[in-house]
Structure formats: structure tokens, C-alpha cells
Structure 1
Amino acid sequence: MKLSQWTVRRRLIVSYLLMFMLLMVVAVTGFYGLRVSNQALHHVVDVNVRKMALLEDMSDAVHVVSRVMRTVALLDDVAARTDQERKIPETREKYNKAFESLKAMPLDNAGTQFVKEIAHQATVTRPLNDRFLALELAGDKAAAASVLMKEAIPANTQWQDMIHHFITLQRGKNLADEHQAELAYQESILIMAGITASALVLVIVISVAITRSLLKQLGGEPAYAVQVAGIIASGDLSKPVIVEAGDNSSLLFAMSEMRQALSVMVAELRSSAGELAHSSDEIASGNVDLSQRTEEQASSLEETAAALEQLTEAVRLNAENAWKANQLASESTALAGTSNDMVAALIRNMDAIGESSGKIVEIISLIDGIAFQTNLLALNAAVEAARAGEQGRGFAVVASEVRTLAQRSASAAKEIKDLIADSELKVKKGTGLVKETEASISSMVSSVRKVGEVIAEIDHASAEQRTGIEHIQAAIANIDQVTQKNSTLVEEAAAASESMRRLSHQLEDMAARFMLAEGLSIRPAAAIAGKGRTGRQPPLKPLLS
């Protein structure tokens, strides 16, 4: 896409973004250079110098221990020697702290090797120092002096030399790091200077390109465009806009087309104002008729609403009665069900009585058989008593009595059996009647349930009917409200049409204020959005978006 096709906002945003990006590149480059220099200086100050300080503390501690041992070797006073010996633990504590801090710092291979050698030398030298102090404490000064001069002093000297060698190494690294920091600083200065110069050149190029594209899009100086806009705003459409030859896309060209289109529009407006006033009069007359018809419709809706209110009350009473009938049908169904359960229980009891009667008949049959056997036995006993003569007379009397009792038992059992048979027959007849009653009650329960279902359906239908009528009533109420609002709107429309008629005359007066070029002919409204003088101008696009 060409630069001339960009909007002003896009051009400005892109130019500002480019300048911002260049500024960010300069800032990031400077920040990076400062960061590198700062890291180098930080390494010199916080690492190298700190290592040298710790090594100096360690060297001083070794030197103090050596000096204390020489002093102890020269002193004869026990109190003075004890005072000197107290310095050794304190000095060793300081040495240990410095050594631990040194080990915790970042070390290269050479530094790590030095730390190991110093630690090894410490493990060799400290036992010699302790041996010397032990001999001094025992009072063997000759042996102590021998250990001091031949073993302890050389070991301490070697220990201190190792520390000094490490210090020399750190000084060399410190000088190298300082030189590296200086080189990084100079390199950052050169890079920032080059990038800044490139950014300035690019900013100048962008500014010139944006300025040229804006002037080309404006078509001239902004002051002349402001003057033309002021003339058009004052209503003077008779003066042409000066546009350079071949310019068909600038702001001034668009303003020239706008002036011509406004001229045609104002001419059309003058001719349309009278027609608008006539139409406004007709609209006002129609609004009066509409207002009358709206009032008649509102009256009819009020009568319909009153009739629906009465119908709603009747449906409500019908629904209440149906609900009460449904309740009574439910109660009848419950009572019929209870009666049916009681009849079923009665049938079960009568069946039990029949079963008991059958068992009693069986028992009586057994008793009748026993009486018959007893009668036979009594008869046999009487025959045997007769054979016995006088000796069996008493037994014959007893056998006669037993036979009499057996006959009476058989007669009673027969009577009971006949009575039970008659009762069993009556129970069977009663059971049949009860079963018929149960069937009738079951049929009645089914009928009552069906009646309850029908009444429930009537109740449900009445409720739905009442709900539907209430919805209709609400809809009519809404229609009534809408009609009232329509009536109000019709009145407002009448007032608005009167205001529109008045404004149309004012519009005609306002259109007359514009100054048009002589001989301007009124074209159709479609010509307002035409192609312009050259016949090649596309629809206008926004210049500032």
C-alpha cells in the first residue's frame, strides 16, 4: 500500500512508532552497555576487592599468630604469656570466618586450587603451633624454641606466602577486569553514537516524507483550506475553490466537490420546502381523524373489558363449585373403598366360620363313631353279663347305662351335625350375598372414581378457562393502555405536524440565506452524490480517521 493511501492517523502513528522504536533501540543499547560496565565494576568491587580484603584478613591472622608465638617464647612472666596466648583463639576465629566467606564466593580454577592449598597448609601448621604452646605450658622452653624455629615458623611463613600469592593473583585479575570494563564502556559509547546518528537520519527522512504526503493530501496550505471552510460555513456557495491542475484526490478538491453538491442540495431544498409545508397540513388533518377513531376504539375496549370481568366472575364461581364437587367425589371414593375393605374382611370371617363348621362336623362324626363303638361294646358286655348270671348282674347294669349314654351321645351328635349342616348352608348363602355386595360396592367405587376424574377434568378445564379469560382480560387491558398511549401519541403527532409545518417555512427561509452561483439549475437529488466536474471523482473518503 502506498503512503498516499494511508490515513493521517495511520501515518502519524506509524511515524511515532518508528521514532519510538528507534528511541527504544538507543535506550536498550545504552542500558545494555551500562549493564555490562556495571557488571564489570560490580565484579571488581564486590568480588575481587572483597576477596583481597578477606585474604588480607587471613594474612593478618597468620601474622598475628606468628608474632604471638615469638612473644610467648621470649616472655618468662606467666601472666604475660597467658595474656598473649588468649589472642590465638580469637585470631583463629577471625581467620576461620574470613576463610569460610572466601570459599562461599565465586572462584575460578586457580582460586579453587589456592583455597585447597591454603586449607591444607592450615591443617599442617596449626598442630605445630599447638605443639609449641603445649611445650611452653609444660615449661620445656628449649624444646618449645626448637619446635618454633625449626617447624612452626617455617610452616607459618609458607602459609602466609601462599596467601600472598593468592593476593597477587587477585590483583592481576582486578586490573584485567578494570581494563575489560573500560573497553565495554568505550564500545557502548561508540555503538550508542552510531545508532543515535542513524536514528536522527531516519527521523528526518520520515518527517520529510510525512510532511510531503500531508501537503499533497491537503492540496495546498492548511490556512487556505481553513479560509475555504469558513466561506462555505458562512453560507457563501458562489465562490469556486482553487485546485491545482491534475488534483482529484486532495482535501481542497473534496471541498470544491462539496461546495458544488451543497449548491445543488440548497436549490433542491428551496423547491422542497413548499411541498413539505403542504404535506404537513395534510398530516395534521389526518391526525385529527385518527384521534377521533382512537377515542371510539378506547370506548369499545372499555365495554369489552367490563363484559370480560363478568364472564371471569362466572367462570371463577364455576371453578369453585367444580373444586367442591371434586372434594366430595374424593370423599365418596374413600368411603366406598373403606366399605369394600370391610366387606372383604366379612367374607374372610365367614369363610373361616365355614372352615370351622367343617372341622366341627368331622369331630362330631368321630364322636358318633365312638358312640356306635361304645354301644356295640356295651351290648357285648350285656351279653357276657347275662352269661355270667348272678355274678354279672352288676356289670350288666353298668353296661346298660353305658349303652344308654352311648345312644344319647349318638342322638346328640346327630342333632348337632344337623344344626351345623343347616348353619353351614346359611353361611354359604350369606357368603354369596356378601360377595355380590362386594361386587356392587366395587362397581360403585369405580363409578365414583370415574365421576371424580370427570369432575377433576371439569375443575382443571375451568381453571384453564379462567386463566385464559384472565389472559384475554390482561391483553385487552394492555390494548386499552396502548390505545390510550396511541391517543396521546396522536395528539402529540398533531402538535408535531403543526410544528413541522412551521419549521418547513423556517427551513425555506434558511435556504434562502445561501448564496448560489448565477444560472444554477436544480438537478435531481441523485446528482448530489454524482461524480463531480471531471466525471472521475469516486465517493469521498474520510481524510482524518
Structure 2
Amino acid sequence: MNFLQSLTIKTRLAIGYAVLAFALVLVAIMGIRGQSLTQQNLEVQVNHLEVIKGLGNSVLDAANARAVSARNLVIASSKPDEVAEIKLIGTAHEAVGKGLKNLEEALKKAPPEAAEPLQKLLAQIKETEAAYGPIALEITRLASVGEKDTAIKKINAECRPLLTRLVGNLDAFLAETDKISQQAIERSMRQFESLRMQLIVLSVAVVLFAVVLGYLTTRSIIGPLGEAGAATQEFAQGNLARPLVARGNDEIASLVAAMEDMRQSLSGLVAGVREGSMSVSTASSEIAQGNQNLSTRTEQQASALQQTAASMEQLGSTVRQNADNAVNANKLAHSASTIAQQGGEVVAQVVETMKGINDSSRKINDIISVIDGIAFQTNILALNAAVEAARAGDQGRGFAVVAGEVRTLAQRSAQAAKEI
């Protein structure tokens, strides 16, 4: 398992396919080799042994035909029968010679393992035929010249033992041919059985190897994937405490390592978010407390502003009364001037008195101007006090300053009113 996990999935699959391909090639090679051996055995059986066996049978048939024709020639009662038998003997004798020559040529073409034992038997056949052939021809000559009794004696004394040995040699040759043929068939069967057993064993081994390799490969893939899937489900449920361990050097190990890096990053991110949330919670509490304090101070500043507004309204009423008095005084001054102009007969003292009244009128105008300036600045200060109250900074310190200015302006307004 560890060895498989040290390989990539691509390498594992490549090894599996390569082994299966090698097994298929090996099976194909063994099949081709078996077919070649079968073809060789079949070629030995059909192209050589069967041909040799056929030639051996033809030689045996020709030898038997020659012997039968020689016997018939001895017992023939007419000249035409003798001539016919003599012709048959010559044909059979030529067939024996030709058959032996063809056998020799065929054995030269046959495989050594089949030709060597048959060549020894063929040598015995040729040796026997070399002894038997001249005797058979001599018997034919004796019978053709009328010496049939001598021919019969020669048949019984010399020809029959050689013929028996020749036929025996041919039978041994044919039996050896059958034996070699049977051996070739048995060898072919053994090779076939051996090849079949090898193919069965190889096929079983390949199947077992494929099953084991498939099981190990599947296990090496499914196991880590299952662990990664379980860890992913825990991640989805919010559990980032379970570490992932990458085993091996394959693609799944790379995936698990990447997931572990992701888990660590997510853990750090969640920890940072948790710390940030705690900081936000603390800051929110502080902001809420500050808002409460600000609200209290704002209410205090609003109350003070209401009092200031009431004072300013009273001050404005006083200023309006002073302005009305100044207007009335101005009217009176104009009336007195008119009266002085119409009564040109007023004495100098009245003139002086009018001058004093005129000066007082100018002073009243100055006082009215001061009062107007005070009213304007008072409005400005009231606006500043409202702004300071909205900001509520440093517990209304700015508002205290504005209130002091308002008191100062109020005193100046009172003093101006006294002067009026």
C-alpha cells in the first residue's frame, strides 16, 4: 500500500495496463509458438511421414506383386500368360527400384529426428532388395526358357527367405513410420497440453494480478478520498480542528495536502474573525456607553440652550423696547427742532437745550447701534452653542464658553439700556 501510494495514480494505471499488455503479448507469443509447433508437427505428419508411409506401402505392394507374378509365371500353362506375367514382373521390379529411390529422397527432406531411424531401416531394405532382385530376375529367366522346375527350386531355396526378409524389412519400416507418426502426434498433444496449461496458468496469474492490483489501486484511491470526504463534511459543519494527513506522493496526497493548507488558512481566518468579533463587541459596548453619555450630555445641553433661548428672547424684548424709546425720542427731537425753528424767538438757553437734546439723540442712535450689534453677536453665539451642544465634546466645555459670552453681552445690553 505504501509503495502504491508513493506512485502517482497515472503511474499505477500505466503499470497495470503495461503488465496486462505484456501478459496479452506473452499469451499471443505463446499462442503463435504453439501454432508454429503444431504446424511443424502437422508438416512432419502430413508432408513427410504420410508421404514416406505411402512410398513404403507402394514398395511393399510392388514387391508383393513381383513375387506373385514370379509364382504365376512358374505355374503358367500358356505362352501368353507367361508373357503377361513377365511384363508384370518387370513393371513391379521397376516400381520397387523407383519406390526405394523416392523413399531415399523423401527421407533426405524429412526432419532429422524422423529420418535417422528410417534411414537405417531403408538401408536394410535396399540391402535385402539388392540380394533379392537378381534372384527374382533369374527365376523369371528360368521360367521363361522352360526350366520351371529349377525356377521352383530356386524360389523355395533362395527367393522365399529373401522375400520374407524383404517384406519383414518393409513391415518394420512401415511400423517405425507409424511409431514416429504416433510419437509426433503424442508430442504435438503434449505440446498442446503444455501450452494450454501454460496459457491457463498465465491467464489465472494475470487475472489474479489484475484483481489484486485493481483492489490495491482502488483501495489506495478510495481510502484517502473517503477520509478527505469525511473531513470535508466536518469542514462544512464548522469543525476545523481535525487535521488531514497526506500519505504518499500521488495526486490524492496533493489534494489532501492542499485541503490541509485550506483548513489551516480557514482556521486562522476564523480565529481572526472571532477576535475581530470580540473587538467589535467590546467597541460596540463602549460606543453604546458613549452614546448613553452623549445622550445625557445632549439633554443637558438642550436644557441649557432652552434657558439661553428664553434669556435671548427677554433680551430681544428689552432691545425692542429701547429701540422704540429711541424712535420716540428721535420724533420728539424732530418736533422740538420744528418748534425751535417756528419759534425763532426762543432764547439762547432754549437753543443750548436743543443742542443737548440733539447730542442725546446721537448717543441714543449709537446705543441703538450697539444694541443691534449685541443682538447680532448673540444670535451667532446661540448658533455656536447649538453646534457645541450637538458635538457634546469634553462635557460641554464649549457651551460654557458660549454661555459666558452670552452673559457678557447681556451685561453690555443692560448697561446700554441704563445709558439710554
Query: TM (normalized to structure 1)?
Result: 0.39
Structure with higher RCO (Cα < 8 A, 6+ apart) = 1
Bigger Rg, structure 1 or 2: 2
Query: TM (normalized to structure 2)?
Result: 0.49
